[in-house]
Amino acid sequence: MHFTLYSRSYCHLCDDMLQALRAFDVDNAFTIDIVDVDADADLVARYDELVPVLLASKNGEPATRLCHYFLDETALRAFLERP
C-alpha cells in the first residue's frame, strides 16, 4: 500500500494531513512519498489551490485521489479495507 502526499513547505495543512495519515499506520503497513508541488510547474498547475492532496494505491493499481485540504478518514478507511 502506498500513499503520495502532494505538499509544500510551510504548509500547516500539509503537516496536519501527514501526521493524521501516519496515525493510521500503526504496523508500518504502507509507505508515504511526500512530493513538493512547487518543485514542478505541472504539479503546481494541477494541485496548487488544493494542497495538500493525498493519492493512494495498492496492488499495483493506478493511484486514486482520496482527499485534499484535510484527511478524509472515511475515504481512508474505505481504501484500507478494500481488498
Residue 75 maps to a domain:
no
Residue 61 maps to a domain:
no
pLDDT beyond 90 at 28? no
pLDDT beyond 90 at 74? yes
Residue 27 has what pLDDT? 87
Name the residue with higher pLDDT: 38 or 60: 38
Residue 29 has what pLDDT? 86
Residue 27 maps to a domain:
yes
Take residue 24 and report the three cell numbers written for it: 493510521
Residue 83 maps to a domain:
no
Please say whether the dihedral angle defined by the alpha carbons of residues 77, 53, 50 and 69, taken in this order, is positive or negative. positive
Is the separation of the CB atoms in 76 and 22 below 8 Å? Answer: no
Residue 48 maps to a domain:
yes
Q: Which residue type sits at 53? A: V
pTM over 0.85: yes
pLDDT beyond 90 at 83? no
**Number of domain units in the chain:** 1
Residue 46 maps to a domain:
yes
Residue 63 maps to a domain:
no
Domain of residue 10 covers 1-53
Residue 30 maps to a domain:
yes
